[in-house]
Amino acid sequence: MSKKVLILNGSPREKGNTAALAIQLTAGATDSGAEVESIYLHDLDIRPCDACDFCQEDGNGCVISDDMQALYPKMRDSDVIVIASPVYWFNLTAQSKLCIDRWYAMESSEDFELAGKKLALLMVYGDTDLYTSGGIIVIYTLDSICRYVGMEFAGIVHGTAMDVGDAEKDPALMDQAFQLGQKLVAPVS
């Protein structure tokens, strides 16, 4: 059975640098026999968590009726979740963060529904440095999430790409995304 990869693209630019990396990752994963679905978060109605904690009572799930309801089963069904986001003001985009905040509804008193899955990151930023761009904050955030929920932080591709098309002008960056796609779905030896 082929592995399932879910890409959550949090860029406000549908055909920007983040999408270019996601396309390369998709090519690498499908080349290795995986099924890949890419979701463009900017087009979805995802509201912020209300902190009502209803989801924590007997596994009720989230009560907010928005597009996250369609994402929850896709996330449960995937083997790998990829967060694809540019760095905006030293962190993930608001679109990415809204989605991630709503993962809270996937926690129960026994476990976290995403435990055991792989998480990867595709990230671009408008600076030449991982630290001054804020990219390091994104990495720390996702690493902390993985540790908390029991996911494997399975790979990162990051680089400078300020203007639309910059990622595609960087063959090494594009190749890294392709290779990550292959690595994420490679059989465990």
pLDDT at residue number 148: 94
Q: What CATH number should be reported for the domain holding residue 11? A: 3.40.50.360
Residue with token string 């494997």: 152
Phi, psi (rounded to 5 degrees) for 6: -115, 120
The string of DSSP letters for 80-121 reads: EEEEEEE-BTTB--HHHHHHHHGGGGGB-SS-BTTTT-EEEE
Residue 41: which domain range? Answer: 4-185
pLDDT-based confidence at residue 1 (cuts at 50, 70, 90): confident
In 3-state terms, what secondary structure has residue 59? Answer: coil
pLDDT at residue number 109: 66
Q: What share of the chain is helix, strand, coil (3-state, %, to 5)?
A: 40, 20, 40
Q: What is the pTM of this model?
A: 0.96
How many distinct structural domains can be found in the chain? 1
pLDDT value at 54 more than 70: yes
pLDDT at residue number 51: 93
Q: Tens digit of pLDDT for each residue in 140-163?
A: 999 999 999 999 999 999 999 999
Lowest mean pLDDT among 26-35, 37-46, 100-109, 167-176: 100-109
pLDDT-based confidence at residue 110 (cuts at 50, 70, 90): confident
